[in-house]
Amino acid sequence: MTGLSCVLRGRAGEEMGQESAGIVTSTGTNPPIYTTLKGMGLVNTAFKAEDLLKLRNGNLGIGHTRYSTTGISELQNCQPFVVDTLHGKIAVAHNGELVNASALRKKVMRHGVGLSTSSDSELITQLLALTPPMEELDTPDWVARIKNLMTETPTSYSLLVVYKDVIYAVRDPYGNRPLSIGRLVPISKLHSSGAGEADTEGWVVSSESCSFQSIGAKYYREVQPGEIVQISKNGVKSLSVVPRPEGDPPAFCIFEYVYFARPDSIFEGQMVYTVRQRCGRQLAIEAPTDADVVSTVPESATPAALGYAQQSGLPYVEVLCKNRYVGRTFIQPNTRLRQLGVAKKFGALTDNFAGKRVVLIDDSIVRGNTISPIIKLLKEAGATEVHIRVASPPIRFPCYMGINIPTKEELIANRPEFEDIAGYIGATSVRYLSVEGLVSAVQGGIESRGKDERISTKTARIGHCTACLTGKYPVELEW
C-alpha cells in the first residue's frame, strides 16, 4: 500500500484466543474498488499469501482481529463489515461493545431492516445507512451520520469507517476503548540502504501504538474521546469532538494498563510498561513483605515485579521458566496430563529460590485457579514461603464494554473462598493493590508528563473506567 492504512486490533492478552481476522482495502479511486479478506484463526493462518497479493492495489484500508467476547465464532461475524449503500460501499470495523445494542437492534429492525449477524459492526453500518433518508443525487454527509450514531450510543467503541478515499477514525465520547494515530516513516529514513519504489508515506491508526514500530511508523497522537478524525491523502484532520453529558469524566478502561495492552504501547502520553512498574512500586508501599527474593509470573507481571523489587530493595530473580510450546490447543490424550495442568507450562528455576522466602508478583487474579498450582510447584521445589502480591485490585463486577470477564459468580473475589484466599490457593500471604493505589499509579503519570501541544487540553479531564473493580459504570445501563 502506498497511502493510508489502519488496523484496529483486538487485544492480544495471553489468555484470549484470536479467532478471526479481516481486511478491507479501497483503491481510493473514483469509483473505488474494495477488496475484502476474511479468515478464521490468527492473522498468519487466516490469510493465504495469494490472497494478500490481491490487496496490492489498495491505497487505504482497515483491518480487524477478533477475539471471542460475545457473538458466535463464525466467519460471518468477522469484521470489517462492508455494505453497499445508495452512494457506494462503506466498510466498518470497531473495537468494543455498544452498551445499548439491544435497543438499537430493535430500532433498525422496526425500520424494516433484517440483521444477518449478531455483531455490533453490522448494527453500526445499518445505523449509518439508515437515517437521515438517502437522496440519490448527493453524496451523503457521513460525518453527520457518524455524529448521529454517537449521540445514539455513548460507549463503548473505537471505530474505523472507510468510504471511497477517506478513513474516519472515531472514539466514543467516553474514550473507553483506545485508538492511536501513527505516521509511516519512509523506509529510506529508517535504513540508509535506499528503499526504492516500495517506499511509503502515510498514516496508520491502531488500537495499540505498539503496532506502529512493526510497520515502521512513529507514534503521532491519540484520537481523543468523542473525536472524529478524517484521514486521507491530504493528511490527518480533526473534524469534530462529540461531547459527553455535562459533568461526566472520560472513562478509558483502566484494565488496558493493568493487563490487556502490550507493555510498549502508549496511552494518554505514558508507556504501559512504566505504569505497571509504578503499580509494582505502589504495591511495595501498600503491601511490604519480609522475604528474600521478588519474582514474577512471566511474562506479563514482570514490570510490576521489577517495580516492587526496586521499591522494596529486595533482589529480583526469576523462579519460573515458561514453556513456549505448550499451547491451548495441545491435545491431552489422558487424564494424567490433564491433571498436571499448569505445571506443564512452567519449569522451576530451583537454584534461584530453594530455601528462600519468595514474593511472587501477579498482574491480576481472576478465577484463582492458575496461581494455585504455581505456588504448589514453588513450594515443592524448595521455597520456604510464597507471598502473593497482586498488582491490581480484585475484580468483582462484570464488564459490558467489550471485555470478556467471567460471570460475577465465577470471580474469586465474589466467592466464599476469598475470605481465606491465601489458604485457598496455598500461599503464605496474599495482598492486592488498592483501587486508589492503582488510580494514582495510572493518573500520576499523566499529570507529570506535561502537555502535548498537538492536543487541545483546555477542556481535557482525566478519568478512567474502574467498573470491574468498583461497579461504577460510566453510563447507566438499561436492560
| Binding-site annotation: residue ranges | 253, 300, 362-363, 399, 465, 468
Contact 313, 334 (CB under 8 A): no
> Which element (helix H / strand E) includes 235?
strand 235-241
Calculate the CA 179 to chain-centre distance.
9
What letter does residue 300 receive in the DSSP assignment?
A: T
Query: What's the rounded Cα separation, in Å, for the pair 101 and 53?
Result: 36
Minimum CB distance to a copy of itself smaller for 330 or for 420:
330
User: Phi and psi of 303, rounded to 5°?
Assistant: -60, -40
**Annotated binding-site residue numbers for Mg(2+):** 300, 362-363
Burial category of 404 from C-beta neighbours within 10 Å (exposed 0-12, middle 13-18, buried 19 and up): middle
Q: In the complex, what is the shortest distance from the CB of residue 184 to a copy of itself, in angstroms, rounded to a whole number? A: 9
At CB < 8 A and 24+ separation, what contacts does 454-457 make?
Answer: 454/221, 455/221, 455/222, 455/224
Minimum CB distance to a copy of itself smaller for 129 or for 475:
129
**Annotated binding-site residue numbers for [4Fe-4S] cluster:** 253, 399, 465, 468
Cell of 376: 504448589
Q: In the complex, what is the shortest distance from the CB of residue 68 to a copy of itself, in angstroms, rounded to a whole number? A: 17
Q: In the complex, what is the shortest distance from the CB of residue 79 to a copy of itself, in angstroms, rounded to a whole number? A: 12
Cell of 21: 481476522
Strand intervals (E) in 306-408: 320-322, 346-348, 357-362, 385-390
Q: In the complex, what is the shortest distance from the CB of residue 242 to a copy of itself, in angstroms, rounded to a whole number? A: 21
Q: In the complex, what is the shortest distance from the CB of residue 45 to a copy of itself, in angstroms, rounded to a whole number? A: 9
Query: What's the rounded Cα separation, in Å, for the pair 371 and 250?
Result: 34
Q: In the complex, what is the shortest distance from the CB of residue 465 to a copy of itself, in angstroms, rounded to a whole number? A: 24
Query: What's the rounded Cα separation, in Å, for the pair 203 and 218?
Result: 9
Q: How far apart are the first and last CA of the chain?
A: 44
What separation in angstroms does the CA of 401 have from each of 227, 280, 341, 405?
A: 19, 27, 31, 10
189 Cβ neighbours under 8 A, 6+ residues apart = none
**Short-list 268, 275, 270, 228, CA closest to 249:** 268
Contact 200, 187 (CB under 8 A): yes
Minimum CB distance to a copy of itself smaller for 344 or for 357:
344
Query: What's the rounded Cα separation, in Å, for the pair 425 and 348?
Result: 18
Q: In the complex, what is the shortest distance from the CB of residue 205 to a copy of itself, in angstroms, rounded to a whole number? A: 18
CA angle 461, 462, 466 (to 5 degrees): 140
Q: In the complex, what is the shortest distance from the CB of residue 466 to a copy of itself, in angstroms, rounded to a whole number? A: 24
Minimum CB distance to a copy of itself smaller for 339 or for 459:
339
What separation in angstroms does the CA of 4 have from each of 39, 222, 373?
A: 22, 17, 48
**Short-list 29, 20, 17, CA closest to 60:** 29
Minimum CB distance to a copy of itself smaller for 56 or for 472:
56
Q: In the complex, what is the shortest distance from the CB of residue 86 to a copy of itself, in angstroms, rounded to a whole number? A: 4
Helix 101-110, helix 120-130: angle, nearest 10: 50
Neighbours of 409 (CB within 10 A): 7
Q: In the complex, what is the shortest distance from the CB of residue 328 to a copy of itself, in angstroms, rounded to a whole number? A: 9
Strand partners, 40: 20
Minimum CB distance to a copy of itself smaller for 239 or for 340:
340
Q: In the complex, what is the shortest distance from the CB of residue 396 to a copy of itself, in angstroms, rounded to a whole number? A: 28
Query: What's the rounded Cα separation, in Å, for the pair 224 and 175?
Result: 7
